[in-house]
C-alpha cells in the first residue's frame, strides 16, 4: 500500500456496524472454501524505512508467536511477511545479514508449528536505498544482475522450509520506466530457479500493482518466462476512489457494494485471457463505516469464485489506530474478521464465540476518543 492514514471511529458508526454485522452473519452460514487461499499480512518488519537498516524493536518489529497463534486459531493458514531489502542485504552485492535471516527463519518455523504457510515479500517498491537516497532497479547503483544475485542467495537460504507459499520478489513497483520492471523480474526468476525449482514466484504488477489498471500498466508481464512454469501474478486492490487504501474521502456517493468487484475484474479478466494464475496481495477496508463490509464480502466472494486467493492488509502490533487493521484490540477481535472468517479454513474454532467478541470490540472502538 503506497499510503496509509489513521481514521478514528465515532459511537454512532459503531452502532451501525454492530447492526450490520449481526444481520449479515445471521443471513449466511459460515462456509469453507476449497479454492485459492485467503490469508493475512502481518506488518512491522518493513516499518522504519526512514532509518535503514534500523534497530530491531525500535524502528521495526517481527511478528510474535502470540500473533501467529491468534490468527492460526481463527483459521488463517497463510501469512504474508513484508520485509525491507536493505535489512536483509545491507549492501548491494553483499552477503545476507545473519540477524535478519535468524528473525525470518524463526518466524517461518513458528508458522510451521501452527501449520501456517508463509509468503516472504520484499516491500521496496522497485527501489533500494543507499545513504538515504532511493535508486531504481536497473540503475547503475542497483543493476539487474545484483537483483538476480540477491534473490538467488535469499531463495537458497530459505528453500529448506517446507511451508513457503511463495517468494514475492518485489511489492508495488512504480514509475520505473518502460520495460524496467519486466527485465528486473525476469532476472530474479532466473536467479531463483538456479537454486530452487519448487517454490512459487510471485510477481507484482506495475503502478503499485493496481488491479483496476492491470492491463494498462502490467500487460507485458505475461511474457515472463519461468523454466518451472510456477508464477503467481499479484495485484493489489483497495476500494476507495484512488485505489490507494487511504480511504481519505470515505464512502463517497459514487461507491456501491460492487465497487470491489469492479476494481478487481480487469485483473481477473487478464488472468483468464492469458491463462495465468493470480493472487490479490493487498486488500482491506476501514472499520469506521459499515457500508464497506458488503464491499469486502462481495469482493471476496468474487475472487474465490474465480479461484483467486489473497492476503488481507493488514495486521501487526504497531498499527495502533490504523482503521484497516485486524490486529485484536486489547485482546478483542476486529470487526473485519467476521467477513474474513467465512473464507478461512472451515476448521476454525472461532465461529462459536464471534458474536460476543465483535459486540465487545465495536463497543470498545466506539468509546475511543
194 carries an active-site annotation: no
Sign of CA dihedral 341, 344, 346, 348: negative
282 carries an active-site annotation: yes
d(CA 4, CA 314): 11
User: DSSP strand E in the chain: where?
Assistant: 38-42, 78-83, 117-122, 127-130, 133-136, 164-168, 201-204, 231-236, 278-283, 309-315
Residue 199 CA, distance from chain mean position: 18
For residue 105, what is its C-alpha cell?
Answer: 527463519
- Nearest CA to 81 out of 54, 103, 59 is that of 103
Phi, psi of 348, rounded to the nearest 5 degrees: -55, 140
- Nearest CA to 119 out of 224, 51, 200 is that of 200
| Candidates 67, 86, 187, 282; catalytic one | 282
CB 313 within 8 A of CB 245: yes
| Candidates 172, 182, 187, 327; catalytic one | 172
Which residues are the active-site residues?
A: 172, 282
Amino acid at each position: 500500500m503506497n499510503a496509509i492514514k489513521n481514521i478514528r471511529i465515532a459511537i454512532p458508526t459503531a452502532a451501525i456496524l454492530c447492526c450490520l454485522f449481526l444481520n449479515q452473519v445471521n443471513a449466511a452460514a459460515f462456509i469453507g472454501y476449497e479454492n485459492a487461499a485467503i490469508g493475512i499480512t502481518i506488518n512491522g518488519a518493513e516499518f522504519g524505512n526512514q532509518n535503514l537498516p534500523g534497530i530491531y524493536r525500535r524502528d521495526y518489529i517481527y511478528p510474535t508467536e502470540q500473533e501467529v497463534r491468534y490468527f492460526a486459531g481463527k483459521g488463517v493458514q497463510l501469512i504474508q511477511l513484508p520485509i525491507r531489502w536493505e535489512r536483509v542485504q545491507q549492501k548491494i552485492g553483499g552477503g545476507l545479514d545473519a540477524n535478519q535471516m535468524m528473525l525470518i527463519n524463526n518466524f517461518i518455523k513458528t508458522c510451521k508449528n501452527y501449520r501456517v504457510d508463509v509468503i516472504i515479500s520484499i516491500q521496496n517498491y522497485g527501489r533500494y536505498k543507499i545513504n538515504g537516497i532511493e535508486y531504481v532497479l536497473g540503475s547503475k547503483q542497483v543493476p539487474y544482475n545484483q537483483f538476480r544475485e540477491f534473490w538467488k542467495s535469499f531463495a537458497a537460504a530459505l528453500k529448506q522450509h517446507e511451508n513457503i507459499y511463495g517468494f514475492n520478489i518485489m511489492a508495488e513497483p512504480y514509475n520505473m520506466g518502460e520495460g524496467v520492471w519486466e527485465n528486473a523480474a525476469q532476472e530474479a526468476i532466473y536467479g531463483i530457479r538456479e537454486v530452487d525449482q519448487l517454490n512459487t514466484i510471485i510477481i507484482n504488477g506495475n503502478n503499485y500493482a493496481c488491479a483496476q489498471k492491470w492491463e494498462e500498466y502490467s500487460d507485458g508481464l505475461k511474457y515472463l518466462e519461468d523454466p518451472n512454469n510456477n508464477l503467481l501474478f499479484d495485484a493489489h486492490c483497495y476500494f476507495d476512489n484512488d485505489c490507494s487504501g487511504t480511504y481519505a474521502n470515505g464512502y463517497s456517493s459514487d461507491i456501491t457494494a460492487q465497487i470491489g468487484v469492479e476494481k478487481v475484474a480487469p485483473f481477473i479478466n487478464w488472468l483468464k485471457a492469458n491463462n495465468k494464475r493470480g493472487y490479490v496481495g493487498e486488500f482491506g477496508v476501514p472499520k469506521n463505516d459499515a457500508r464497506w463490509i458488503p464491499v469486502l464480502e462481495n469482493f471476496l466472494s468474487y475472487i474465490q469464485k474465480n479461484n483467486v486467493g489473497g492476503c488481507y492488509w493488514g495486521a501487526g502490533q504497531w498499527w495502533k489506530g490504523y482503521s484497516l487493521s485486524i490486529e485484536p484490540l486489547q485482546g478483542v477481535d476486529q470487526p473485519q474478521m467476521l467477513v474474513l472468517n467465512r473464507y478461512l479454513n472451515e476448521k476454525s474454532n472461532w465461529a462459536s464465540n464471534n458474536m460476543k467478541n465483535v459486540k465487545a470490540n465495536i463497543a470498545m472502538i466506539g468509546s475511543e476518543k
